[in-house]
Amino acid sequence: MTATSSSPSRLSGAPHDWVDRCLLAGPDDQECLRFGAPVARGALRALVAEQAERLTAAGLSGGGTAALRLAPSLGYTAALLACWRLGVQAVLLDHRLTAHEVALAVERLAPQVLVESADRPGGALRGFAETDPVPKALPGGRPAATGHALVQLSSGSTGPAKVIARTAADLLRELDCYRRLKLFPKAGERVVLLSSMVHVLGLVGGLLNSLHAGAPLTVPERTTTAGILAAIAGDDRPTTLIGVPFHAELLAAAAPPPLPQLRRMIVAGELVRPGLPAAFTARYGVPLGTMYGMTELGVIATDLDGTLHPEAAPVHGMEPHEEGGELHLAMAASPYPGLADPTRWSDGRLHTRDAARVDPATGRVTVLGRRDSQVSIGGLKVDLNEVEHTLAALPEVREAVVVFADGAIEAYLAAEGEAAPTAVQDALTRELASFKRPRRLSFLPALPRTTTGKLVRDTTALRAAAGAAATPAR
């Protein structure tokens, strides 16, 4: 695979015209995006040029740095592509971060310009917003120290977010991987995107791939069940839905109208609950495909038609290796700028920290969960993934997170019905040895999630959510 560069050249490893050539090319009148109304390529090119002028007026030029804090929108898309067109390193900040969190990120990353919207963001269930990106020069901002085009923060589902950087060449490599996947959306088809455009699946697998492949991308006006179904039904072209398992859970609980244009749903971001693929297919008559990937590399392995589950086949150029039960991937340079941590990257290998099996004959990967899920209880080894999967498979349980803290296993559950606690306790007694059973079971109306829809696994945050749920409202 292509190496991730750390040299301070302008978007190292990619032709300077990569945005125009790979993302914006096409007839002026060709639809490429839909945020409520369709957007043609000619209109998008004009908006990118306008945003480039604004960024230049704010003092940015090739080798500069800009942080974007914008909701999913046409404005966000234009501002991001304008950064790359100018040779500016783009730092993506989720628009749902608080002002305090943004200030901490700015202090940590020191961008030269912060781009925010002059308009108020949409509501919590809005799929997109109207934005007017306004760049503001920041005192003390620094130019790019590396040749990376993109800087992202990890989701933070298990603790503090990591700073992860990728070159333009590596983004193009990932787009080529998508091009080679026969079942991924192509020209003549369309995508309905539910995943965040700030994070890797929604950004590259959704937005950038749609522009590159010529498969128009629609973002629903609202991310409710009704809003998602309306977005699918709003066009007769073959449609692929891209989201996270939470979205599939939401849809699997619905009674949908006929949707003959829907070809499949593809999810990534966390392990899929046992039974969800069958439940989704029973509702919609199409497969629930899965992908495994990381912010550091993008897509790694796929099962787009649901026939390999729980295995996934590696994409072009990926050669997974199993080292002591952990998945390792070849990567020429560290994706963590300024961080020297041999437990994450060393000797040309990315240490995913995911427990996995790799079939030596096929190369297919079975991801088992986080490697740090192995804990010791009274000298006996317990896999927290096993406990979590057992809970998640119970009919009373909608979702579950299991953690290890203060020497004990804790489980946080969203469950159905007043009898659920008793039923869950009885099931655990039947199905798990006593040393594997959680010492603490907390029942919540819904489990906390990150801004990208992943279940939060930070013990402090989970305990706070459980405490809030147990405190009567005043």
Asked if the model's pLDDT at residue 15 lies above 80, the reply is no
Report the predicted TM-score, pTM, of the whole model to 2 decimal places: 0.82
Pairing between strand 349-358 and 150-153? Answer: unpaired
Residues 178, 183, 188, 193, CA torsion sign: negative
How many Å apart are CA 308 and CA 301, to the nearest integer?
A: 11
* Residue 40 three-state SS: strand
Q: Where are the beta strands (DSSP E) in 416-457?
A: 440-444
Higher-scoring residue by pLDDT: 178, 124: 178
Helices (H), 352-437: 384-392, 420-431
CB distance 146 to 8 below 8 Å: yes
Query: Amino acid identity of 353?
Result: R
How many Å apart are CA 271 and CA 290, to the nearest integer?
A: 9
Residue 168 CB coordination number (10 Å): 24
Q: For 305-315, what is each residue's pLDDT tens digit?
A: 999 988 999 99
Pairing between strand 349-358 and 345-346? Answer: antiparallel
Note the Cα 253 to chain centre separation in Å.
Answer: 22
Length of the chain: 474
CB distance 98 to 106 below 8 Å: no
CB distance 350 to 340 below 8 Å: no
Whose structure tokens read 């029973």? 282
Domains of the chain (ranges plus CATH)? 1-165 (3.40.50.980), 378-469 (3.30.300.30)
Higher-scoring residue by pLDDT: 302, 198: 302
Question: For position 149, what pLDDT does the model report?
Answer: 97
Please, is 227 exposed, middle or buried when counting C-beta atoms within 10 Å of its C-beta (0-12, 13-18, 19+)? Answer: middle
Q: For 187-240, what is each residue's pLDDT tens digit?
A: 999 999 999 899 899 999 999 999 999 999 999 999 999 999 999 999 999 999
- Give the residue-averaged pLDDT of 276-295: 96
* Residue 292 three-state SS: strand
Q: For 48-88, what is each residue's pLDDT tens digit?
A: 999 999 999 999 999 999 999 999 999 999 999 999 999 99
Asked if the model's pLDDT at residue 420 lies above 90, the reply is no
Mapping DSSP onto H, E and C, the string for 68-97 reads: EECCCCHHHHHHHHHHHHHCCEEEEECCCC
